[in-house]
Structure 1
Amino acid sequence: MNIKSLTLLIILIVPALCWTQTDFKAKSDSLSFYLSKSQDEANTSDIRLEYAKKAKRVAFDLNDKSLLIQSNLNLSKIYLDIGLKENFLKSSHNNLKLTNKVKDTISTALINKDLGDYYYINTSDSAYYYYNESLKLYRALNDDFNTAVLLLDIAIIQKNEKDFTGSEISSIEGVSLLESLGNDNEVNKKKAFHYNNLGLVFDQLEQYEESIKYFKKSIELIQKLDGENKLALDVLKNNLGLAYRNSKQYDLALLIYRLMLKDDNLIKQDLDFYSLVLDNYAHTLYLSNQHEQLPGLYIKALKAIDTIKPTVYPSIAIHQHLAEYYFKYQQKDSAKYYAYKAKAISEQYHNDDLLKSLLLLSRIEEDSIAVNFFDAYIKLNDSLQKSERKTRNKFTRIRFETKQIEAENAKIAKEKVWLMLLSGILIITAMLLYIIITQRSKNKELELLQQQQAANEEIYNLMLSQQEKIEEARIIEKKRVSQELHDGVLGRLFGTRLSLDSLNMSSSMDAIKTRGQYIDKLKTIEEDIRKVSHELNTDFISGSGFVDIIKTLVDTQTEVYNLQYKFNSDDTINWEDISNKSKIHVYRIVQEALHNIYKHAQASLVDISFELKNDVICLSIKDNGVGFEVDKTKKGIGVKNMNSRIDEIAGTLYIESEKNIGTTIIITIPI
């Protein structure tokens, strides 16, 4: 890619990347803005809902699962706040599927907690189920604080359903977890709420000393908290007063209630709670036989609550207390009025208060009416006990299933450990086997190389032996030529020289004729010397050594394999220029080829030839065997070995074969 193209590519890509980043940042900023506006309680419900929906749409456009989960949680909360319960349930369950899909444990736990809060008022078993699901997740996350918070929610449900033992266990566990988290403000607040629940549980179990102890612990913690906690402190004081009253420590109970009622802010901050405290104070006076201010205080408490709504839940107890008071003083009409009023209101709220109202009417009414109310009381009491047992059994079953799941998870974890251990052993065993097999293979390869080296040494020794024979033949030939020169040529030259010396001084015709004969004789000797010189100049055994070795190999092998053979070697090939390494490989290739012909070809004749073409030795090995399909037949070890040797000497191998005609192997060896 040239500089111009690269520059153009950068010009195109960089703005796109910048635009993408800018667009992402803009949408992220929009999401934060919409979430902030939806959570601003200064806005109306409709505006908050619209912003929450916009936040969800932006999160969806960003294709970010975590942001979408966060937006869904926010939207669900607003649905619940403005009373769109069906929308809340649908949104929460859809979000739950998403968090499970992406394995967002924290958000899954939070959604289950929200669903538990939703069902808390009306459906305790559903609330218990979702709280328990959230509890399991927070346990898995080792989040002790939120685990303790969920244990508090569960403990309160257990107390309300009269599973007092279960509630006590849950709160004790919650306190134990909080104890390990120090003295943080929120930690101490949750610890105080657990103590309050324990105080209420022990009050119901009529273990008043324990109840008073836990209420005092709770009050002590709340008093140390930062911020405004007056209402929580007043509730705890009211509960402590009830524990004192139930344990017949009326003076202490009255002291607490008088101190509370002296606070002018009590009636301002919560009229419901004020009327409840005033009724508790009045009823404590009634139980301690201090009736001077009665029924005035009861009426005052009832009027205070009637200014809000005459049929709210706290008014049940006030009507029941007035009925008891008037019944004690034989004012039956007034007693019946307030008793029936208590029954009518309690039918809308809680069966325990309805049970008390039925029992009260069975005492106030007479004859068959009293009997009917008592029968209704017994029937409702039995129904409540069955319902409580059923609910407690359901709670137990949920806890059992949770423990069962935990046990199964522990079992699975144990099985995983064993599986990992066995897998590790198998992997190590496999590695050891691989090492052993690899080592054996290497040993075999080494052994094969050693055998090949030994065979090569054998061939090399054979070539040395042949070379020694050639050198020996050269020495014998030189000796023969030397003897011939000494005994033949030199003797004749010496005799001719003496004869010429004797004729040197004579000039007769006979002498001249004789000298001419001796000169011809010298010419003959000259031809003989030239011949000997020519023989000396031509190495009659040059290169014959290696060819003889190959011919000996072919002759021996074909005799063993019962084959006829033709052998031809180009005399122009100077084998002295070929390295010993190449000669050894050529020897082995010929040997391997003959072996393959014997083993596979079913041939009767083999033709082997060496030719020199353009400084390349061409070895051709041809047989008249059955032949084979070169492309379809798998290469055996023999051919692989031949290829390996050819590669060693930078040669080439070509195989041509035709069925029922034969096979030709052509090998080229560069000089």
Structure 2
Amino acid sequence: MCVNLSFTQNYSKEKFDRVLYYLSESSNPEHNLEEKKELVLKAKDLAFDMNSYSLLLQCNQKLLELDKEMGHSGSFLKLSHENLQLAEKFKDTTTIAQINKNLGYYYFDKQVDSAHFYNHRAEKLFKQLNDHYNTAAVLLDIALLQRGAKDYTGSELTSIEGIMLLNKIKKPTKEVIQKKAFFYNNLGVVFNGLEQYDKSIEYQNKSIELKLRLKGNNKAAIDFSKNNLGNVLKNAGQYELALKTLGEVLEDETLENESPEFYAIVLDNYAHTLYLSNDRDALPGLYHKALKASKAAGIDGYNSIIIFQHLAEYSNDLGLKDSAKYYGYEAKRIAEKYYNDALLKSLLLLSKIEEGEVAANHLRNYVRLNDSLQKSERAIRNKFTRIKFETNEIEEENIRIARERMWLLVISIVVIVASILLYIIFTQRNKNKKLEFIQQQQQTNEEIYNLLLAQNEVVEDARALEKKRISEELHDGVLGKLFGARLSLDSLNTNTSPEAMKTRSQYIAELKMIEEDIRKVSHELNADFVSGSGFRGIIKTLVETQTVAYGLEYKLEWQSTIDWDEVSNKIKIHFYRIIQEALHNIYKHANASKVNLVFKLENNAVCLSIIDDGVGFDVSRTKSGIGLKNMTSRIKEIQGKIDIISKKIEGGTTVNIDVPIS
């Protein structure tokens, strides 16, 4: 019975509780069997509405138990096949195997080929589950079916396989030991049929030994094996040991009343052993007593046939033809209803008792029936082989289909994964190409800027040289001449007339003024101011160009205390590139409308602040961006520091950069 509950979307706690209530009430002894069945049927209807696999199995199992108690065997097949369909739907291999095992047991004495079919299916499934015990249990039924078809070799091999499986169970239970004893008993019967009596005796003794190890009252099972052992010893001609073994069973005074059918079998074996050993004093009394016990059991069957055959054999030996014929024909009459093997023996026995044409007719019937039985047994064995082959073929086909589905699934997954990988690769390749293009563009821009700076430096150097030349010309040439003229005037200042002195003084003052103007111009021409003002112009041009392109308003502030002439070109280049990258990032990510750039000098370090009014971002998650990496790399190269302040909720981003200039 399944105990794991499964529910679908139709699950309802109220329905579930009602199902459990009905199942619980169905075990209440206050209800009769019909009432119990009605409760289980209500539970089953609810379980069907809930689409609960395990609850349906429980309900059907309970119905099977109740029908068995009520003696209704007709519902077994219907409920079993219903459970089988459910289990196959939910791929419950354990339940499928168990149901096939039960169906094999059901058909065991009804339809041999069906029993064989379901047993082989159960065997395969239990082997897949690595369930040694249940596999062995199914193999025992198969071995018994093979023995019934006189496939003794097949039954022997199947029994040995079952025993080997049971030997793999490390801690054998009572059930495991019992099954092993049954296998040994079957081997004993098989080798008895093959007339290999020594092996048969060996296996029967092993069966008895195992049964003696079991706890509890196992006397009936032990007596059963002892009767089989006694029968083999009788066939082997070990009459004394056979009588001792069978006598141990007959010592039980309660056996005749408690199990008259088994008592009749043992007593007949005991009497027949006496007959074969020529100890006939107790005969035919023991035969008649066995026949009486068999009839008391109410069974006019196989056991009565054997007793009648033994009585016919005994009477014929004594020359009591009428009695021999009576017993012989009684055995034949019963055997004609059911038992072909027993009928075969009866015909052979009558062919020996009768005379003339009657005996010949019985012998012909014996030969005809024997041929028919051999063909039938051969056909059954072939059918068993075919069923096993077809079952294996079905299993192999299922395995092949499952393998094909698995490969289809694997191939589909591989194709999907490969497609995703190719997409990622192509996407990444395009991104890499884009990044390479951007980097190349940045390098090109940097090279252009460097060329501009280099060209500007060349121009400025030319200007400086030209200014220096002009300054030198003014200073050394013009100023020298003016200075000489002034000295001449000074020398003429000996004229002490008031007018002369006044005129000379005016000239001298005017010359001094000219000298001072020329000196001032010379110093201004010689001063290197273009470098600093040139960098500011380049930055201003960059900011104006970029903000116009990006649609931004800008404000550029310079602190006058910064002496850009003291700042290296390397630092200036990196400042240029950082501002360019920052403006690009603001345009691309910030969604800003204004940007302020402020240059100032603090602690002998040039500080640049870039402030926007954009949406802001999470600094901790964006530090790995390409733009920020480039900015950080540049600042690190000039031994600077960068600090980014941004708030995603409030908006706005401030980038502070400090670069020492010495």
Q: Does 1:283 align with 2:272?
A: yes
Which deviates further from its counterpart, 525-534 or 195-204? 525-534
Contact 1:278/1:297, CA 8 A, preserved across alignment:
yes
Match of 1:120 in 2: 108
Residue 118 of structure 1 and its aligned partner are, at CA, apart by 0.6
Q: Displacement, 1:165?
A: 1.0
Judged with a 3 Å threshold, the aligned counterparts in structure 2 of structure 1 residues 644 and 195 are, in CA distance, closer, same or farther, namely closer
1:257 partnered with 2:262: no
After the TM superposition, which of the residue ranges 486-495 and 403-412 deviates more from structure 2? 403-412
Aligned mates of 2:387, 2:327 — CA distance in 1? 42
The 5 A counterparts of 1:578-657 are 579-581=572-574
**Aligned pair partner of 1:347 in 333, 336, 349:** 336
Query: Within 5 A, what are the aligned runs for 1:42-441?
Result: 45-46=33-34, 49-50=37-38, 53=41, 65-66=53-54, 68-69=56-57, 72-73=60-61, 75-76=63-64, 78-79=66-67, 82-180=70-168, 181=170, 184-365=173-354, 369-399=358-388
**Are 1:488 and 2:488 an aligned pair?**
no
Letter in 2 for 1:155: A
**Aligned partner letter, 1:267:** E
Give me the whole-angstrom Cα distance separating, in 1, the residues matched to 2:323 and 2:525.
162
Unaligned runs of 5+ in 1: 1-19, 549-571, 589-612, 617-642, 651-670
What does residue range 22-41 of structure 1 map to in structure 2 within 5 Å? 30=21, 33=24, 37=27
| Contact 1:109/1:138 (<8 A) preserved | yes
Alignment check: 8 A CA contact 1:282 1:294 kept: yes
Task: Please report how far the alpha carbon of residue 114 of structure 1 lies from its aligned counterpart in structure 2 after TM superposition.
Answer: 0.9
For 2:557 and 2:469, how far apart are their aligned partners in 1? 28
Distance 2:312 2:300 in 1: 16
Alpha-carbon offset, residue 224 of structure 1: 2.6
TM-score (norm 1): 0.65
Q: CA deviation at 1:200?
A: 0.7
AA at the equivalent of 2:184: Y
| Distance in 2, Cα, partners of 1:410 & 1:105 | 14
- Count of aligned residue pairs for this structure pair: 545
Query: What is the one-letter code of the residue matched to 2:457?
Result: Q
User: Would the aligned equivalents of 1:69 and 1:95 in 2 still touch at CA under 8 Å?
Assistant: yes
Alpha-carbon separation, structure 1, partners of 2:216 and 2:345: 39
Q: What is the one-letter code of the residue matched to 2:470?
A: R
Q: Is the CA contact 1:139–1:147 (under 8 Å) kept in the aligned structure 2? A: yes
Inter-CA distance 172–587: structure 2 relative to 1 (3 Å threshold):
closer
Offset of residue 115 of structure 1:
1.3
Please give the residue correspondences for 1:501-650 in structure 2 after superposition, counting only pairs within 5 Å.
Answer: 502=492, 506=496, 508=498, 512=502, 539=529, 579-581=572-574
Aligned AA (2:304): S
1:473 aligned partner: 463
Task: Measure the CA separation in 2 of the matches of 1:280 and 1:43.
Answer: 48
Once the two structures are superposed, residues 95-139 of structure 1 have per-residue CA deviations (whole angstroms, 9 ceiling, x without a partner) of: 334434444333232222111111111222222222222222333
State the distance in 1 between where 2:34 and 2:458 align: 114
- What is the CA–CA distance in structure 2 between the aligned matches of 1:28 and 1:504, rounded to whole Å? 144
1:148-199 superposed Cα distances (whole Å, 9 cap, x missing partner): 3333222211111101111112222333333454664333322222221111
* Residue identity in the other structure for 2:239: Y
- The aligned residue for residue 661 of structure 1 is none
Which residue type is aligned with residue 251 of structure 1?
E
CA 48–279 in structure 1, closer or farther in 2 if over 3 Å, else same:
farther
Amino acid at match of 2:138: L
CA distance in structure 1 between the aligned counterparts of 2:312 and 2:231, rounded to whole angstroms = 20
The residue number in structure 2 matching 1:659 is none
Alpha-carbon separation, structure 2, partners of 1:237 and 1:208? 15
Cα offset for 1:390?
Answer: 1.6
What is the distance in 1 between the residues matched to 2:453 and 2:58? Answer: 88
Alpha-carbon contact 1:27-1:62 (below 8 Å) kept: no
Q: CA deviation at 1:210?
A: 1.8
Q: Percent identity?
A: 40
Q: Deviations over 1:198-242 (max 9, x none)?
A: 111111111122222222222222223211111111111111121
Asked if the contact 2:146/2:152 (under 8 Å) is kept, the reply is yes
Paired with 1:122 and 1:228, the residues of 2 have a C-alpha distance of 31
**Secondary structure of 1:227's partner?**
coil
Correspondence for 1:16: none
**Equivalents in 2 of 1:155, 1:209: separation in Å?**
21
Q: CA deviation at 1:537?
A: 7.4
Of 371-380 and 224-233, more deviation after overlay is shown by: 371-380
* 1:247, distance to aligned residue in structure 2 (A): 2.0
Partner of 1:662: none
Cα 1:615/1:138, change in 2 over 3 Å: closer
Instruction: Give the distance between the partners of 1:208 and 1:538, measured in 2 at CA.
Output: 129
Instruction: Give the Cα separation in 2 of the matches to 1:541 and 1:363.
Output: 143
Deviations 1:221-270 (A, max 9, x none): 22232111111111111111211222233333333333333321101221
Deviation at 1:453, TM superposition (A): 7.0
Counterpart amino acid of residue 499 in structure 1 = L
Equivalent residue letter for 1:278: L
**SS of 2:216's equivalent?**
coil
- TM-aligned CA distance change 1:484 to 1:401, over 3 Å: same
Give 1:147's aligned amino acid: T
Residues 22 and 573 from structure 1, CA distance in 2 versus in 1: closer, same or farther, beyond 3 angstroms?
closer
What CA distance in whole angstroms lies between the structure 1 residues aligned with 2:159 and 2:520?
130
1:592-632 Cα deviation digits (max 9, x unpaired): xxxxxxxxxxxxxxxxxxxxx9889xxxxxxxxxxxxxxxx
Which consecutive residues of structure 2, in runs of 5 or more, have no partner in the other structure?
Answer: 1-10, 539-555, 559-563, 582-593, 598-624, 633-656, 658-662
Counterparts in 2 of 1:89 and 1:323: CA distance versus 1, 3 Å: same
Indicate conservation of the 8 Å contact 1:30/1:58, yes or no: no
Which TM-score applies when normalising by structure 2?
0.65
Calculate the aligned-residue CA RMSD, in Å: 5.4
